[in-house]
Structure 1
Amino acid sequence: MSTPVPSVRVEDREERTLVAARAHRSRENLLRTRDLVLSIAAPIVLLLLWEVCARLLIIDPRFFPAPTKILLAGWEMLRSGELWTHTGPTLLRLLVGGGLGAILGIAVGLLMGSSRALNAAVGPLFSALYPLPKIAIFPILLMIFGPTELPKIIAVFITTFFILQISTVSGVRAIDARLLEAGAAYGARGLSRFRFVVLPGAMPFVFSGLRTATGTAVVVVTAVEFTGASTTGLGYLIWNSWQLFIPEKLYVGLLVIGVIGAVLTWLLARCETLLLPWRRRG
């Protein structure tokens, strides 16, 4: 008569599962700490290397001034108000033009993605207009509206609008047909279908488009501020500093533009985490 194999107790299986889960969480915490340390240490090491090379004249400090001199110039510009004089207009153009362009682009993209007829009517037109360089359109805007704030805001608006329109249409079309069928089976029609199926399904693509549009809008607003139509803005600060050969101020402008882009991207990531909790990592 064979001896029965003792079965593993449920308590033992649960204990092993808890131990494995704790080990996994501990490893994830270590990896997050390592990533944070690396993300902070790498720029610091590069800045220290830059500082040493500039001080020892390994690189030409006329073109690559030491980071400490750049920070000192930025502090002086901040105290005198010069830095805010240029940062404020750039932020205004980005937020107004980019915000309106994003809202309208998402709305039009949702409509085009949901309506086959509308997409057939205006889709080819938008596809033809999107590749046009926005900087090339800027002189036309100047001829129509003059050297005012409106052409700069419109240039940012157009840039953001097309990126969000394309991303949103792609998001609607990428929704799994099984989700649409499941929504229909549960009685989702009209506004309910849009609210509970279409909009959540398209939102990951919308946020991806927002991140792309943010970087592109920063590039466009800086480029239009390079022109003689502007006497304010970080782009003007960079261009004017190059003309007057004041490299410290030029690098301050570049630094502020980078900070603005990084902060806006971080805010979008936080909003995505809050609005799309099912996409959270870790």
Structure 2
Amino acid sequence: MATETALPSARPSQRIGRFAPSPTGLLHAGSLVAALASWLDARAQGGLWRVRIEDVDTPRCVPGAGEEILRQLATCGLHPDLDGDGEVWWQSRRGEAYAAALQRLVDAGQAYPCGCSRKEIAQAQAALGHGHERHGELVYPGTCRHGLQGKPARAWRLRTDAPDGSDLTIDWTDRRLGPQTQNLSQAVGDFVLKRADGLWAYQLAVVVDDAEQGITDVVRGEDLADNTPRQIHLQRLLGLPTPRYLHTPLVLAADGQKLSKQNGATPLDLRDPLAALRQAGQALGLPADLPGTGPADWLAAAVPAWAAR
């Protein structure tokens, strides 16, 4: 648990950013870039910076990794501004909030139970002549949208059609990537809010938490830009504000693939935290010669450099 003193609540017009790591392993060079970008962006706007541990996918979480991530951030001088309760948020403790949001969507006719297995979804897609699998997740054809047809409920899904039944297209503007658009119905289909194993899906949890924490600016890696239309759709259905989004360039491994815990990225070597920060700053396009003899004074120089980009 973090030990920083809780700060007063944000002012109504104050910008609030966040870093929300999943504790499936320790921070690596790529995740430090994301953390640093979100911290710099909040500080450059005179705002607050929250940290939230996204441990909703509990089977994949490594025991103790969340606490170690907080220590890694502190070693780099990245200290979160805590909410009024004085604690970092952990998604695994937020089930009641997610259940309330799901019930609102069910009551509005926007969420429904699904009895389909992955095999059945694949068969339905094949029958439609579609063999495309999106990032390891099959595009759902809406089989259970109008009823379970005698099957037991396995998961809960969100409708991705427009009010008139046509395809739903989400348009949004990224602060770095510019105008974006996605046909949510065709590219994703009705997506999961609560999984067959009873765990809450990332999309619902992140939308509920961002709203409740008052997040105004989401700064994260470009690999997560694809999630943004689903989150905007959820925000609109729940009557929640939509933050501004900025997706940063990815840090690539030597083989050209995204540096990630899934492909064995090495945990940060923080014997020299200033060197790690300088490397992350250069990945974000900051000058290599920013002054600083330690994390605190380097970060102080990095804030105006970020603002001047």
Identify whether the pair has TM-score above 0.5, normalized to the shorter chain. Answer: no
TM range (shorter): under 0.3
- Indicate the structure (1 or 2) with the bigger Cα radius of gyration: 1
TM-score computed with the length of structure 2 as normaliser: 0.21
Instruction: Give the strand-richer structure, 1 or 2.
Output: 2
Instruction: Give the helix-richer structure, 1 or 2.
Output: 1
